[in-house]
Amino acid sequence: MKLICLILSLIVALTFSFTPVHATKQFNDVSSDFWAKEEIEFLAVKSIIDGYADGSFKPSNNVTRAQTAIMIAGALELELENRPNPNFSDISEGFYAYDVVAAVADEGIILGRDGRFMPNEPLTRGQMAAILVRAFGLNKNPLPEVYIPFVDVSVENTFHNNIQVIAKMGITNASYSDATQRYNPNNETSRAQFSVFLARVLVDTFIGGNEKLNSLELL
C-alpha cells in the first residue's frame, strides 16, 4: 500500500511539474487582437499595472504622472516605507499615491517642477523617455554615436539624449535612415503606449514584437 501511494504521489508531482501555467489577467476593453494586449497582460500579471473597477483598462486614456509613479515603483519593487517627504505643494500625505511619489522622487526618477509634482497631468512622450532612462539606468552602457534622426527632436531638446537612448535600444520604433520620422515628444502618452514601452524595458523579447502595429503608434 505504501508503494502504491508513493507511485501515485510521484505521478501527481510529475504531472504538475510539466503542466504549463499561463497566468493571464484580461480586461473587457482589450480585445484579443489589440496591438498592446500581450504587454498589458504581462504587466497586469506582474501586478505592475491595474485596471478599473468596471474591469476595463482604458488603453487609449492618457497615463498620468501619478499612475506612472505607481507603475515604475512596482516594476522596480521600490521600498515605500520611511521615504522623506518630497514636499510637493500639490500632494499631501493623504493623496492616494503619496507613498510611491515619495519613493520615485527620493530615487531621483520622477522630478517635479517649481515645487509641484502635477500628479494628474498626462505624461508626455519626452518625459516618458527620461523617466525610463533614469529608472532603469539605460544610459549606463555605451550606444552607437550615430544619431537616429527625428525631425521634431533637435539636439537642443531637453529630452534629446533620452529619446536617442530608447530609440537605439528599440524601445521606441525608429530607423537610422528615415529622415522624415517623428517622435512627437510633446504628445501625451497613452496607457497602452506606456505599457508597451515599459514591457520592452523589462523583457527585451517584446522589442520588435508588434509588426502589426501602425508605425505612428510608437514613433
- Per-residue model confidence (pLDDT) at position 141: 80
CA distance 107 to 73: 10
CA distance 191 to 199: 12
pLDDT one-digit tens code per residue, 78-91: 999 999 999 999 99
pLDDT one-digit tens code per residue, 89-106: 999 999 999 999 999 999
- Per-residue model confidence (pLDDT) at position 123: 98
Closest CA to 204 of 130, 141, 125: 141
Cα-Cα end-to-end distance for the chain: 66
- Per-residue model confidence (pLDDT) at position 1: 54
3-class SS of residue 98: helix
Q: What is each CA distance from 46 to 24, 38, 43, 76, in whole angstroms?
A: 10, 12, 5, 11
List Cβ neighbours of 169 (8 Å cut-off, separation of 6 or more). 138, 143, 207
Backbone angles phi, psi at 195, to 5 degrees: -60, -40
- Per-residue model confidence (pLDDT) at position 2: 47
Q: Look over the chain and give the mean of its residue pLDDT values, rounded to a whole number.
A: 87
pLDDT one-digit tens code per residue, 111-164: 999 999 999 999 999 999 999 999 999 998 888 889 999 999 999 999 999 999
- Per-residue model confidence (pLDDT) at position 144: 81
Q: What is the pTM of this model?
A: 0.84
Per-domain residue ranges for the chain?
A: 24-63+191-209, 64-121, 123-189
